Structure 1
Amino acid sequence: MNYSIGAFSKKVNLSIDTLRYYEKEKLILPKRNESNRRVYSESDVAWIEFIMRLKQIGMPIKDIQHYANLRDQGDETIEDRMQLLYKQSDILEVKKREIDANIQFLNQKIDTYKRMLADKKEAL
């Protein structure tokens, strides 16, 4: 199925301006019809969803652009694309350890306050 930019915008829940920005940044390269209007496909839907996930996991736009460029070059760049994903995975693992440490710190503090409240109630 093919989509106009307006229909595609609604399908992927991104503004037309955002889609044009992504095109300007060469993140997405929609085909053009005989009237030179953008035409998006189901594969573009999947690609935009992937881009949005990369953004959610904190991949810098520069790396997403590099990934998009590699993708456009074809399957001979799969190893390079994997390296970008491994790099982002490593970054997320570090952040996960930091978040886990922060959660542990907060839980220890909460436990300290619970003990203090319990001791206070026992003293009454």
Structure 2
Amino acid sequence: MAIDELMTRALAAIPDLDGPISVEAIHRLVDADDDLDDGPWTIAETAELLDVSAHSLRYYERLGLVEVGRDSLGHRSYDREALRRLVFLTRMRLSGMPMRDLQHYVELVDVGETTVPERLDMLLEHRDTIRRQLRELTLSLAATEYKIATYGGHTGDVPGI
């Protein structure tokens, strides 16, 4: 199941994207990979699953953001832990988190539980950034809808959004 399918399923499980997301919905997002086989996965399979390039996966590994095992031939072998971390990393990158912040976050994770308060602070700050971006995108959507209506086009809800 590719990440697009997982995201479609996860978004469908969230009843109202305009309101706060429930803890149960978050747990469903975290457990969304339960439909996957047990792995391990090759770099090509992982890249396809996450809809990223193999180059991006190697880059994340080179930066120390994810640890990847090797099979008996020396080829990369991605397990569930690596896959979960990569899902998180790709979501954070998609939402605009800079690589240096991701590196710092992963360093904190690797240090252990004593860094939870700092990680929480980082995520709270990033959440505020995402919320600001959502407001800005909402205004951009309204301006686009206005222009579409001006030109006689149909405006309104877009299925799936």
Common topology (TM > 0.5): yes
Q: Rg: which structure is higher?
A: 1
Note the residue ranges of structure 2 that are not aligned, 5 or more in a row. Answer: 1-38, 149-161
* Structure 2 Cα separation of the partners of residues 51 and 14 of structure 1: 11
- Equivalent-residue separation in structure 1 for 2:87 and 2:132 (angstroms): 25
Name the residue aligned to 1:85: 123
Deviations along 1:26-75, one digit per CA (max 9) or x if unpaired, are 11111234544322111211111111111121111111111111112222
Q: Please, which runs of 5 or more residues in structure 1 have no aligned partner? A: 111-124
Distance 1:88 1:81 in 2: 11
Deviates most, 100-109 or 44-53: 100-109
Count, aligned residues:
114
Q: Counterpart in 1 of 2:60?
A: 22
> Aligned AA for 1:8?
T
**How large is the RMSD of aligned CA atoms in angstroms?**
2.9
Q: Which has the higher contact order (CA 8 A, sep 6+)?
A: 1
Amino acid of the structure 2 residue aligned with 1:59: M
Change over 3 Å in CA distance of 1:76–1:34 after alignment to 2: farther
Secondary structure of the residue that 1:59 maps to in structure 2? coil
The two structures have a TM-score, normalised by structure 1, of 0.70
Higher fraction of helix:
1
Alpha-carbon separation, structure 2, partners of 1:17 and 1:105: 37
